[in-house]
């Protein structure tokens, strides 16, 4: 039976020695807590058990293996040298700081890199031992970025997903990594690459473009003839576990215990691993600034500061510990009294019950990382407070801020702003807090950890299906040669070409899709041949096509077939636009509710663009909008196109198929070629004669006979016909 193999640096439980006995305890950290609550998905988990080989004799190793096997965990044993150079070295002194944009902490050393490479191969060997054909191999995080490709080399057809839990850096920082090409190639061994946010997706795709010269179409890239998809999957939490905790007996007991000690004071809480990315010194300084500038709160507020020991072998972390100790000491010394200690500093991990009790009792959660892949603490705080009370103060530089926009968003480098936010939060009326928290709460409930994991593995399945489709309909060299031969054997040829995504690559700014010199040269050469009639069929408006393509002798179709130009522009149908006044207010409402989206008005259609929005939010809104439009289309005789990051509402009678037919029926062509990339081009493919050649750019099912990988390939083909 097909199984899911989760591969991560650490197992969800850690082996430790207590009085010479090996015992096990849960691992702390976002990945372990998150994934361990999705048991249905965890058939086998491969990872390091937390103790180096030197500390274990062979009996103990065997004991660990046996005990872990009961939970389908497979340990990868690492020695002290690996731990120093790979884990404490390359992972935490090179990748961690660089990927968090804190390059001043990063070291670049060949021997650390070599160890990283070696350990990734050790993990590969364990995966090869465990994997059977058809299994899903899901690799996690920055410690194992070479692993996808190392496995791919050995198992070319394996189903591999890779998820990065930390940020991916902008190219301007990533370019400093001496092994950047190896890292990118390593990750691209996966079929699906996931990040928490769309910004990291963009940075990753940008690096691929700059380093490997590979373009993507909406996150799909062809790597060595294989489709790889890159997308964002914002990790959720085990919502039920946190939202049900308020009624748990142990949690209630903890709440009373803490309340007894703190009294009626307001509580500010922060919980993080002691890590320089979490912005702890800045946060403490902001708290100090708050006490100095809002002295009326002295004696009335307690800051519970939980710092979980982390990476204590790395010098930068030890330095941070000293810095935090000093700051806490100074603030308590300067402001504390016999009756009141401003900061309760806990340098250890706490039990789950204590953690949730703290979440529930805290009036403010102060989550101010300098940079954070996601930050689950912020989500857990909101989910635990089922009465929707409490204020979340959140860094704009944490991945989670893209999702929890209703939190009080601050700049972690601005202590004045943070202190002001604390003051506002302590003075905020319950009503405002409740409204904000309720909205966030509902989203966390919807997109929980299970949904996240199912979403990722479901997408991975669909990528495999797309790869299969592509393989059966791939535009091979033989197919290309046959097309070119047929072209040269004919004298009466019709070429029907879509523009965006077919002749030009659509990047993040579609308004900048004007033709480059190469394209104009190719189009001129093809149209100059008098045996050819070349038509561009586009969704763009007349003015744009005119401006961009006036220098070439082309026939044009604008607005998906609403306008046709042989010599002058003509409307294909009498305009019917009465429906616009009903639809426009609806789309405007969606613009208001979906930051980053906008409306484009064309002569015969209205288009809602959502490419700049948070993908998760957009997904929800698209579904709502489509459901709503479905109730209107019959009455108004309109249809809508669910295009690439757009919903276009238009007159039903207008489509590229009708426009294409006008040319197809015009003459007895002995060669017809149609090329397009999105669903609007399917109308064109469906009216072609059987003998026609048709190509879809990109992957996925299509009525076209073949799939081609990219705009580059289309241009090469047209060049061969020129």
Residue from 108, 352, 388, 598 touching ligand GDG (CB under 6 A): that is: 352
- The stretch among 67-75, 349-357, 549-557, 622-630 that binds ligand GDG (CB under 6 A) is 349-357
In whole angstroms, how far apart are CA 407 and each of 176, 197, 242, 403?
A: 34, 17, 18, 9
Residue from 207, 232, 375, 437 touching ligand GDG (CB under 6 A): that is: 375
List alpha helices for 385-448, DSSP H: 415-427, 430-446
CA gap 697, 710 in Å, rounded: 6
- The stretch among 23-31, 37-45, 669-677, 706-714 that binds ligand GDG (CB under 6 A) is 23-31
Decide: is 102 part of the binding site for ligand GDG (CB under 6 A).
no
The encoded tokens of residue 399 equal 């991945």
Which of residues 198 and 640 has its CB atom nearest to ligand GDG in the complex?
198
**Smallest gap from residue 320 Cβ to ligand GDG (A):** 14
- The stretch among 1-9, 29-37, 175-183, 705-713 that binds ligand GDG (CB under 6 A) is 29-37
Contact 123, 147 (CB under 8 A): yes
Which of residues 218 and 352 has its CB atom nearest to ligand GDG in the complex?
352
3-state class percentages of the chain: helix first, strand second, coil last, to nearest 5:
50, 20, 30
Decide: is 219 part of the binding site for ligand GDG (CB under 6 A).
no
**Smallest gap from residue 709 Cβ to ligand GDG (A):** 32
Q: Is 358 helix (H, G, I), strand (E, B) or coil?
A: helix
Give every strand in the sheet of 301-308, ordered side by side.
343-346, 301-308, 266-273, 364-367, 391-395, 408-410
In whole angstroms, how far apart are CA 149 and each of 90, 152, 184, 186?
A: 19, 5, 10, 5
- The stretch among 204-212, 347-355, 679-687, 693-701 that binds ligand GDG (CB under 6 A) is 347-355
Residue from 9, 14, 33, 385 touching ligand GDG (CB under 6 A): that is: 33
Sign of CA dihedral 565, 567, 571, 572: negative
Which of residues 290 and 452 has its CB atom nearest to ligand GDG in the complex?
452
- Looking at 141, 206, 498, 683, which residue is catalytic? 498
- The stretch among 26-34, 146-154, 179-187, 453-461 that binds ligand GDG (CB under 6 A) is 26-34
**Smallest gap from residue 350 Cβ to ligand GDG (A):** 4
Decide: is 308 part of the binding site for ligand GDG (CB under 6 A).
yes
- CA dihedral in degrees (380, 382, 386, 390; nearest 10)? 130
- The stretch among 25-33, 84-92, 445-453, 699-707 that binds ligand GDG (CB under 6 A) is 25-33
Which of residues 92 and 207 has its CB atom nearest to ligand GDG in the complex?
92
Give 346's strand partners.
306
Which of residues 31 and 466 has its CB atom nearest to ligand GDG in the complex?
31
* Mask for 264-303, x = binds ligand GDG (CB under 6 A): -------x-x------------------------------
CA gap 367, 393 in Å, rounded: 6
Question: 498 catalytic, yes or no?
Answer: yes
Q: Which of residues 81-100 bind ligand GDG (CB under 6 A)?
A: none
Residue from 190, 376, 558, 692 touching ligand GDG (CB under 6 A): that is: 376
Contact 622, 642 (CB under 8 A): yes
Neighbour tally for 18: CB within 10 Å: 8
- The stretch among 24-32, 326-334, 420-428, 581-589 that binds ligand GDG (CB under 6 A) is 24-32
Which of residues 308 and 525 has its CB atom nearest to ligand GDG in the complex?
308
CA gap 714, 708 in Å, rounded: 7
Residue from 12, 30, 186, 676 touching ligand GDG (CB under 6 A): that is: 30
**Smallest gap from residue 379 Cβ to ligand GDG (A):** 8
φ, ψ (nearest 5 deg) of residue 431: -55, -50
| CB-closest chain residue to ligand GDG | 30
Q: Which of residues 152-181 bind ligand GDG (CB under 6 A)?
A: 165-166
Residue from 212, 262, 341, 350 touching ligand GDG (CB under 6 A): that is: 350
Name the strand (E) or helix (H) holding 675. Answer: strand 671-676
The encoded tokens of residue 218 equal 């909406």
* Mask for 227-256, x = binds ligand GDG (CB under 6 A): --------x---------------------
Query: Looking at residue 678, what DSSP letter applies?
Result: S
Strands 638-642 and 646-651: antiparallel
Residue from 41, 151, 355, 463 touching ligand GDG (CB under 6 A): that is: 355
Contact 95, 142 (CB under 8 A): yes
CA gap 196, 511 in Å, rounded: 27
In whole angstroms, how far apart are CA 346 and each of 259, 316, 342, 375, 381?
A: 16, 20, 13, 20, 18
Catalytic residues: 498
Q: Which residues bind ligand GDG (CB under 6 A)?
A: 28-31, 33-34, 165-166, 235, 271, 273, 308, 349-350, 352, 355, 372-377, 380
């Amino acid at each position: 039976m097909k199984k899911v193999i989760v591969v991560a640096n650490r197992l969800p439980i850690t082996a430790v020695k207590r009085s010479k006995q090996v015992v096990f305890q849960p691992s702390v950290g976002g990945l372990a807590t998150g994934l361990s609550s999705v048991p249905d998905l965890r058939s086998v988990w491969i990872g390091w058990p937390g103790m180096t080989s030197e500390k274990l004799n062979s009996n103990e190793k065997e004991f660990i293996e046996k005990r872990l096997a009961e939970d389908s965990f497979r340990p990868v044993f690492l020695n002290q040298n690996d731990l120093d150079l790979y884990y404490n070295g390359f992972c935490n002194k090179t990748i961690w700081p660089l990927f968090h944009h804190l390059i001043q902490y990063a070291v670049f050393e060949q021997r650390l890199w070599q160890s990283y490479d070696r350990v990734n191969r050790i993990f590969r060997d364990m995966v090869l031992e465990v994997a059977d054909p058809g299994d899903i191999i899901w690799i996690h995080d920055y410690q194992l970025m070479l692993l996808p490709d190392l496995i791919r080399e050995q198992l070319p057809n394996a189903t591999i997903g890779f998820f990065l839990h930390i940020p991916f850096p902008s190219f301007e920082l990533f370019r400093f990594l001496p092994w950047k090409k190896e890292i990118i190639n390593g990750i691209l061994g996966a079929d699906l690459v996931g990040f928490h946010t769309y910004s990291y997706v963009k940075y990753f795709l940008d690096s691929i473009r700059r380093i490997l010269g590979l373009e993507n179409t909406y996150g799909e890239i062809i790597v060595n003839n294989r489709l790889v998809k890159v997308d964002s999957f914002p990790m959720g939490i085990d919502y039920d576990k946190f939202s049900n905790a308020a009624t748990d007996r142990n949690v209630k007991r903890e709440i009373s215990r803490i309340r007894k000690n703190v009294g009626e004071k307001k509580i500010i809480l922060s919980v993080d691993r002691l890590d320089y990315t979490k912005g702890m010194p800045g946060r403490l300084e902001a708290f100090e600034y708050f006490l100095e500038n809002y002295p009326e709160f002295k004696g009335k507020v307690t800051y519970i500061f939980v710092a979980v020991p982390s990476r204590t072998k790395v010098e930068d972390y030890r330095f941070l510990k000293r810095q935090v100790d000093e700051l806490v000491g100074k603030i308590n010394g300067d402001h504390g009294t016999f009756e009141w200690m401003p900061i309760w500093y806990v340098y250890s991990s706490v039990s789950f019950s204590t953690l949730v009790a703290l979440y529930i009792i805290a009036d403010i959660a102060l989550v101010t990382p300098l940079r954070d892949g996601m930050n689950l603490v912020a989500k857990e705080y909101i989910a635990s407070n089922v009465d929707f009370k409490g204020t979340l103060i959140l860094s704009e530089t944490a991945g989670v801020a893209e999702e929890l926009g209703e939190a009080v968003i601050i700049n972690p480098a601005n202590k004045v702003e943070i202190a002001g936010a604390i003051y506002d939060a302590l003075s905020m009326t319950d009503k405002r807090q409740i409204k904000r928290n309720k909205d966030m709460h509902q989203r966390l409930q919807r997109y929980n950890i299970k949904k996240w994991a199912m979403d990722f593995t479901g997408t991975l399945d669909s990528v495999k299906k797309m790869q299969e489709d592509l393989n059966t309909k791939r535009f091979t060299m033989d197919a290309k040669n046959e097309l070119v031969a047929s072209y040269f054997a004919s004298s009466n040829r019709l070429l029907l070409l879509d523009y965006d995504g077919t002749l030009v690559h659509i990047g993040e700014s579609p308004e900048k899709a004007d033709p480059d010199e190469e394209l104009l040269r190719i189009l001129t050469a093809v149209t100059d041949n008098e045996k050819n009639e070349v038509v561009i069929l586009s969704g763009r408006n007349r003015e744009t096509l005119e401006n961009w393509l006036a220098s070439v002798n082309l026939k044009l179709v604008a607005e998906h077939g609403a306008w046709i130009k042989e010599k002058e522009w003509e409307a294909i149908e009498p305009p019917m636009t009465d429906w616009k006044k009903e639809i426009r207010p609806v789309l405007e409402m969606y613009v208001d509710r979906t930051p980053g989206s906008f409306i484009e008005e064309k002569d015969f259609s209205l288009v809602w663009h959502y490419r700049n929005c948070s993908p998760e939010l957009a997904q929800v809104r698209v579904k709502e909008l489509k459901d709503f439009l479905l109730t209107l289309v019959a009455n108004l005789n309109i249809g809508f196109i669910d295009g690439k990051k757009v919903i276009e509402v238009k007159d039903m009678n207008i489509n590229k198929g009708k426009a294409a037919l006008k040319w197809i029926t015009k003459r007895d062509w002995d060669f017809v070629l149609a090329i397009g990339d999105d669903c609007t081009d399917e109308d064109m493919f469906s009216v072609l004669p059987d003998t026609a050649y048709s190509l879809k750019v990109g992957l996925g099912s299509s009525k076209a006979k073949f799939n081609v990988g990219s705009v580059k390939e289309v241009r090469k083909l047209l060049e061969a016909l020129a």
